[in-house]
Structure 1
């Protein structure tokens, strides 16, 4: 279904109004329990949060994940987020760039992130229904280090002006993986990734997965709020963030996982890393702080997350966040039940 440029602009701004909407349930990360080590035999200066990813060094394994861009009102938001990423040494992804590909006058609302953060790790973003040519344009627009290809079928089905045809997405992704000069990241937008989907993507060349699990911003509810008749059937739809990570890890394949979806505190970030995520992405929680408290407050929050992650690493007996994935943990509740039904084992010896 073809959407007008003006209509797309209104929709982007409405997303900023309704981005706090969440579905029923949680991310599942509350079911993940790290084991406190009362004798860690480590010092504060031993803890190093830095990591290498896509050829660049990050101060901590965090991403300000895909948020916005398009209408002129979004320019300063993206500029501020890019400055926060630069000053805290973390990665950033822009929102869907389809708006700027269709309306070149909006390209600067995305390009501003590279001006504000010229050396940073920045990800482009585009839907799976787009062409290789559009993907190249999105990458070039911000000199991106990687491209998030978002899988948003659930959102499209609720969006009044959304697509209703999804054939060809996998072939589009295959072409992008083969011909783009930057890595392609397969990204869900709030409904999680199953191991069946991840395996199809892996077989098509994808090696990085952003799980976008249930528990955070629910784009089906956001689009529902824009309709005359609300659609609530998808308020509990999808795989949680915790389950999505474990489903993909169960494949036992060499790949990177980015944990996103309902992560709003450093302990949940640590839990996701302990399950096997390489990085943790945060979108709505950081955006709320920026819009309500300002840029400096968001910088303080990110720095606070970094300090708290160091505390959690030390008390778990780790010198680096990557070591959390090798430490013993306990999984309880609905996440444990899911793993049992799906025959997924995560036993770790103490």
Structure 2
């Protein structure tokens, strides 16, 4: 097994080790005002929407997790099958490994094989050669491309990159790729200045991926021979990053610390077009296998439809109109930053 594949396996194991579904995050400091008389009814059909010109059954999806190793092949095959059966989108983990290890393609392709017509999103880093990106998109028949920005993870990673001059490379990718391009953080949140700069350079889609869920500084610190735990707390909370994206009037996905259907509703109420979930789904699969994760996703659709009804809404477009209020610590941060 190559060093890159070993790292993928280590990430999966450490994500499971550090997983805490009850971890406190910014969603806990955000509240939605619920009408006692909602004048609505539960209807799961209100969840149906379109994502990159394809129909999906819900506005939440399986966000980037893994790929490029034996274990990730097993995971991606299951995720592809679930995405197909539940008719939701799936984003694959970083496929940058394919630029140097083409034999790992199968660990990604199994997802497309299981879900031939569904929404499939490919993920790469900005340094990935354009020819490798084009080939990966072609092989996987991808509907969109995520470019992940992971500077904190790279600094914490023993073998991580130290050159973060990426804008020109992102622009080059954007110029040569015909499918939608999404800029995605990896759990430390997109800030407003970066969103604005990328918007000015042609990026139209963002995934804020704020802090509150999986922490790659913590994961890489566990692989390190010296302590860089001080990096674990420098991320932007998901709620704040989403509000920054909202202020920039861009199309954005809310992810980072989403643990349940109420968090999904909060993400949609912040203006997110979609909500991405990674670690909760991964650990449910680890714990209860394929059937457990599929049941969880099916239940979440039922529960999200029920939440929309009790908050008195009848469609996804009206969710940002739900009145929101914040606990003082988060409100203080919002007042200082936005």
Does TM, scored on the shorter chain, surpass 0.5?
Answer: yes
**Map 1:1-350 → 2, pairs under 5 A:** 6-20=2-16, 21=18, 26-45=24-43, 48-167=46-165, 169-251=166-248, 253=249, 255-342=250-337, 344=338
Give the aligned partner of residue 347 of structure 1.
none
Q: State the number of aligned residues.
A: 336
Shift of 1:43: 2.2
**What are structure 2's unaligned runs of at least 5 residues?**
none
State how far apart, in whole Å, the 2-side matches of 1:260 and 1:277 are: 9
Shift of 1:47: 5.5
Shift of 1:250: 1.4
Comparing 188-197 and 138-147, the one that deviates more:
138-147
Shift of 1:124: 0.2
Comparing 225-234 and 76-85, the one that deviates more:
225-234
State how far apart, in whole Å, the 1-side matches of 2:327 and 2:70 are: 46
8 A contact 1:26–1:240 mirrored in 2: no
SS of 1:185's equivalent in the other structure is strand
State how far apart, in whole Å, the 2-side matches of 1:95 and 1:222 are: 16
Deviations 1:66-85 (A, max 9, x none): 11111123212100001111
Identify the structure with the greater helix proportion. 2
Shift of 1:61: 0.6
Deviations 1:265-289 (A, max 9, x none): 1111111111111111000110001
Give the aligned partner of residue 348 of structure 1.
none
Change (3 A) 1:47 1:89: closer
State how far apart, in whole Å, the 2-side matches of 1:183 and 1:27 are: 30
What TM-score results when the alignment is normalised by the length of structure 1?
A: 0.92
SS of 1:341's equivalent in the other structure is helix
State how far apart, in whole Å, the 2-side matches of 1:26 and 1:202 are: 31
State how far apart, in whole Å, the 2-side matches of 1:322 and 1:181 are: 27
Structural RMSD (CA): 1.7
**What are structure 1's unaligned runs of at least 5 residues?**
345-350
8 A contact 2:43–2:306 mirrored in 1: no
State how far apart, in whole Å, the 2-side matches of 1:43 and 1:272 are: 21
